[in-house]
A and B are shown apart, each in its own frame.
Chain A
Amino acid sequence: MFRILEKKVLNSQVTSLTISAPLIANKVQAGQFVIVRVHDKGERIPLTVADFDREKGIVTIIFQAIGFTTKKLSLLNEGDCICDCVGPLGMPTELGAPKKAIVIGGGVGCAIAYPQAKTLHNMGVKTTVVAGFKSKDIVILEDEFKAVSDSLHITTDDGSYGQKGFVTEVLKDLLSKDSYDLVIAIGPVPMMKAVAEVTRPLNVRTIVSLNPVMIDGTGMCGGCRVTVGGEVKFACVDGPDFDAHLVDFDELMLRNTYYRQEEAHACRMEGKING
């Protein structure tokens, strides 16, 4: 059992849980994920580690209560236990040795972008963060990003906070004024695809973190297969980070919709969560 030591409600949909998991905390690096199972009849879902403290033996996961299991997870409180938590899985992000980097987060993807920004900042890389949200009320991690970036740009789709518009507009602007040698983009698939299209003609190295359907997380089921550079890759063992210019985003979007009907079945969900 994995005890929840701290719970923070970041906005109406996004929750942060800090869990005691010493073995995972001892090993995890930015870009890696864990698989959690909330209870003994639960499903296994992958969640990227947002933060960790090796000495305290803790890891933090941040997630949006969007599906069946994430909703159940969001109802847990400090002191409660998660049935299973296994990891760290996947490959750590290969950051290389960039001089100037842009880290882009979209919505809850900011939770995964944060450890990347933190790692780059700690490496002494000049780091610019672009964090995009739908509106002001769901802005998360602003202070955290400030602490690990040289400059922070927040955008909202409706202009209720920061700059109005999409993250790609800020990105284009940044790239037109200065040169960067690394872009990391983590968020909804359409956003990552749009970022890839902005950086492709400029030939700026761009990394995305993918979130396909997954069961075991160790390469056994093949549910997470994605096409990268024309080759089939398993996101759980080869990724979850890939070269944005090689990923088949359309295929990923399609595959991610497969269980949406089951997820959205209201009576199943409400009945079981409340029952």
Chain B
Amino acid sequence: MADMSPLKVKMPELDPQIRNKNFCEVALGYTSEMAVAEANRCLQCKNPLCVSGCPVNVQIPDFIKLITEGNFEGAYLKIKETNSLPAICGRVCPQERQCEGKCVRAIKGESVAIGRLERFVADYYRENCNTNTSKITPNGRKVAVVGSGPAGLTCASDLAKLGYDVTIFEAFHTSGGVLVYGIPEFRLPKAIVAEEIKGLEDLGVKIQNNVVVGKTITVDEIIDMGYEAVFIGSGAGLPMFMGIDGEASLGVYSANEFLTRINLMKAYLEDYDTPIKTPNSVAVVGGGNVAMDAARCAKRLGAEHVYIVYRRGEEEMPARKEEIHHAKEEGIEFVLLANPKRILANDKGEVSELECIKMELGEPDASGRRRPVEVENSEFLLRVDSVIMALGTSPNPLISKTTQGIETNRRGCLVVDENMQTTKSGVYAGGDAVTGAATIILAMGAGKIAAKSIDEFLKAKN
């Protein structure tokens, strides 16, 4: 009989007033006892809706059942059958809109904490189990993967397990893509990412860093080098700005720049060389996970006031619920239904104020969300010394411009069919390069489909 408690077992977290001054991981994870207790809340549905909500099809009731039996290693291996990065997904997936959003327990009370359980078994396995993987029989066929973010890592992992000789080409000096440059340490410790990448290398995957595909080598040259298929998971691209007055002022960043300085270049650590300014008062423009990450990083650098400026209301924010909750706990100030009009600077060219206008929600737009409209004569000023634009990205043209026969859509994203094949034979793509800025798990799902398609394509070729 399942435990019918309406609430999830709480996960211990660092105190908000302590954690907002350091970069330590916020959520501390379940103990074994907590995990078993939470697992007992699962009803083991015969027709589990949660699985249909998972982009990589994790067999959720099965792994949870193994937890109730105390078989944590088995639970991990069950997840691993379909998800190559459980420790990461358990931490950063928007579960409330996926598996947990479909959980029948959520009808009356809270869903089963599927994400926390996934994280628990992944952490348990990493700390307690031998990571020797089963022997793979190499088939000697070369496949290239462009980008070592979630899409590329997943695709590479699945192909390596099938015996392919996989090489990942990565532009940055450190592998992991958005997992290392974008998501902060306090939400996803980089040691965990490094561990997942090491696991991939143990499978025989080779990673070549400092190679910008489209510049250092082209996709066509990769094919000429004897790679029989290529997967492009090059990620999102150029950060968007608002085009308002004052955006060139000193102290205006894209969230990408701000987060890269902190997460990839470790500018907040004394012994790293990359500089960063310590802001006193910061406005972050946007309502997604990236905006929350930037705001919480700014707070940790020592900013007294950090504002999230978002043109819709909290309900409409695309960020994970937990991130919004954590941001509020840490003292981030939400300025909702407000949109920046211009950035004012002092005589040294440094940001001094952000002028905003109040918004109200009108009729729903094409996306189904209510369209924000300006309230006349409602301008107000926020006194800030930094403005961080977290407005999303537009696709990077480096690869599409340099690859023969590859098509993009009107927005510049790579065009793929349902098998993730691009318009060029043998070339597949997935993740943000195809969808525009989206989530890690969707990118992983695409990488997974592409790996299967590449396998079928190469088997048919012979």
Instruction: Identify the A interface with B (CB < 8 A).
Output: 23-24, 27, 37, 41-44, 68-69, 72, 83-89, 215-216, 218-223, 225, 227, 232, 234, 237, 248, 251, 254-255, 257-259, 262-263, 272
Contacts and interface: CB of A to CB of B under 8 A. Distances in A.
A76 to B, nearest CB: 15
Contact of B260 (A221, A227, A237): A221
The 10 closest A-B pairs by CB, nearest first: A262-B275, A221-B257, A222-B254, A43-B274, A86-B210, A84-B173, A43-B273, A222-B239, A254-B349, A41-B272
A223 B398 contact: no
Given A27-B216, A68-B273, 20 more contacts: A42-B272, A44-B274, A86-B211, A86-B212, A86-B216, A87-B216, A88-B215, A89-B212, A215-B261, A216-B171, A218-B398, A221-B256, A221-B260, A223-B253, A232-B241, A234-B238, A237-B238, A254-B248, A257-B250, A259-B275
Nearest to A39: B273
B209 interface: yes
Nearest to B395: A219
Contacts of A86: 171, 173, 210-212, 216
B260 A218 contact: no
A223 B274 CA distance: 13
B396 A89 contact: no
A242 B280 CA distance: 35
A224 to B, nearest CB: 9
Contact of B210 (A42, A84, A223): A84
Nearest to B172: A216
B371 to A, nearest CB: 26
Given A219-B396, A237-B398, A255 B237 contact: no
Contacts of B271: 41
A263 B216 contact: no
Interface residues of B, number: 38
Contacts of A223: 253-254, 257
B266 interface: yes
Given A218-B171, A222-B238, A84 B209 contact: yes
B217 interface: yes
B265 interface: yes
Interface in B234-263: 237-239, 241, 243, 247-248, 250-251, 253-254, 256-257, 260-261
Contacts of A237: 238, 396-398
B248 A225 contact: yes
A40 B176 CA distance: 16
Interface in B348-403: 349, 396-398
Contacts of A222: 238-239, 241, 253-254, 256-257
10 contacts: A23-B217, A41-B273, A84-B209, A87-B212, A87-B215, A88-B216, A222-B238, A237-B238, A248-B248, A254-B349
A219 B238 contact: yes
Q: Which of A24, A225, A234, A257 has the most CB of B within 10 A?
A: A225
Contacts of B217: 23, 27
A215 B261 CA distance: 8
Contacts of A44: 173, 265, 274
Contacts of A23: 211, 216-217
B254 A221 contact: yes
A39 to B, nearest CB: 8
A41 B266 contact: yes
A221 B215 contact: no
A54 to B, nearest CB: 14
A69 B273 contact: yes
A216 B260 contact: yes
A232 to B, nearest CB: 6
Given A83-B173, A222-B256, A223-B257, A255 B238 contact: no
A79 B275 CA distance: 29
Contact of A219 (B173, B210, B237): B237
A24 B211 CA distance: 9
Contacts of A24: 216
Contact of B173 (A37, A221, A227, A254): A37
Interface string B147-186: 0000000000000000000000001110000000100000
A251 B248 contact: yes
B241 A221 contact: no
Nearest to B238: A219
A251 B396 CA distance: 25
B398 A220 contact: no
A255 B210 contact: no
A218 B396 CA distance: 8
A232 B209 CA distance: 30
B210 A85 contact: yes
A8 to B, nearest CB: 25
Nearest to B218: A27
Contacts of B398: 218-219, 237
Contacts of A232: 241, 243, 247-248
Contacts of B237: 219-220
